[in-house]
Amino acid sequence: MPEPTLRFIESNGIRMRIAEMGEGPLVLLLHGWPESWYSWRHQLSALAEAGYHAVAPDLRGYGKTEKPEAVEEYDIVHLTGDAVGILDALGEKTATVVGHDWGAIVAWNCVLLHPERFNALIAMSVPYGGRPKESMLTTWKRQFGDNFFYILYFQEPGVAEAEFDADPRGILSRLYLSPDSPREKAEVSDPKRSAGGWIGRLGAPKELPDWLKAEDLDYYVGEFTEAGFRGGINFYRNFHRNWEITPQLADASVEQPVLFIAGSKDVVIRGANAEQLTGMMGRATKDLRGVKLIDDIGHWVQQESPAETNAAMIEFLKSLK
């Protein structure tokens, strides 16, 4: 399989590394946490073969892309600005934006905040039903109280990145699994935050899933060993700020065509079926063209089920005028 070209560009005041393949209309692929451009390795070649210019950056704070120090430089204005800056650096007026996990949150906001630059959206794993009435951070604090919840854990300055930086393979190998992957018994079972961090709450894998080769895990571990986890965790530290700085989105709708893709067993969608997801996203979209749930697949949908994911993406892209 041909390899993507890796190079650096200047975008929105920072130096970003991008992986790219192919020629044609631009498709911008935004990864999630804790990931990398490499999460799109199966999509880059498929999109190139289908006649598209596929570009997957290391997002701000990840991999070889720059990592600003200030937490507020990871807010949604900066993140969507980075995406627009990539289009500018490539000399493109518009692109279809694709996002998985945190990349999906950025992608939803790209089409809302910069509608003139993004002609369509493919969101994976994270649906969008409109701006909530209160900050999600407020909701989660009320919901979880003293119990451990990883997003609240990530709000503690310096704590989560210290845990993960000390054992990148420990956290990544526990997260990059399928829903049915066999695990060892978790070391921490007490639900209280005071009982410990996150790695000990996740049972160690007994084996890698069939979609993740040892060399794939090694690549991710190498990237996070070098870059650290703080940049990606700073995305989470802006949940409340993002809500505060986007009051204009209170009644906004996505006008562009949208496709949603997820594994049916993705924990993010909490067991919702296609009809329920369609209803939820229908509140905030005017042209939702499909909800594709891939049976028995978990959170890492484009890596766990690349053939089905690629087919759905390309069918949607070909439908765009």
d(CA 233, CA 155): 8
DSSP codes of every residue in 199-259: GGGSPPBSS--TTS-HHHHHHHHHHHHHH-SHHHHHHHTTHHHHHHT-GGGTT--B-S-EE
Catalytic residue among 101, 180, 251, 287: 101
Nearest alpha-carbon partner for 97 in 110, 116, 85: 110
DSSP assignment letter at 67: -
Question: Active-site residue 299, yes or no?
Answer: yes
Is the Cβ–Cβ distance between 143 and 136 less than 8 Å? no
Site of tokens 């190998």: 173
d(CA 199, CA 153): 12
DSSP assignment letter at 285: B
Question: Active-site residue 240, yes or no?
Answer: no
d(CA 105, CA 131): 12
d(CA 103, CA 29): 8
Cis peptide before 182 (omega within 30 of 0): no
Catalytic residue among 31, 53, 100, 299: 299
User: Which amino acid is residue 277, in one-letter code?
Assistant: L
The number of residues in the chain equals 321
CB atoms within 10 A of CB 158: 9
Residues taking part in catalysis: 101, 299
